[in-house]
Amino acid sequence: MISDHGLDLALDSELDPLTVAHSERFRRVSNRYPRRVSDAYGGDLGRAMADSDKQVAGTVAAWETSQGLEPRDWVAIGIDERGETFGH
């Protein structure tokens, strides 16, 4: 078994299309964002996928605060991960 953002996957198992879509959508923000979104939504990937990016960001920030965490700027984190600069 390998673990990918909290999801245990057998190497020979087929991935659920919702899981793949969730990962693809939220990895555009940051490599670690899919896991944070999943945590914030209590694992309800369908509900996260149905919400707008702005709604998801708000839910994630509220969840981080509820957990005693400083809300993170996930867009800036993603830009840093990709070695990009703001405005490009």
Across 36-48, average pLDDT: 98
Give CA–CA dist 32/74, Å, rounded. 9
Query: Does residue 75 contact residue 29 with C-beta atoms inside 8 Å?
Result: yes
pLDDT tens-digit series, residues 58-81: 999 999 999 999 999 999 999 999
This model's pTM is above 0.85:
no
Give CA–CA dist 30/82, Å, rounded. 9
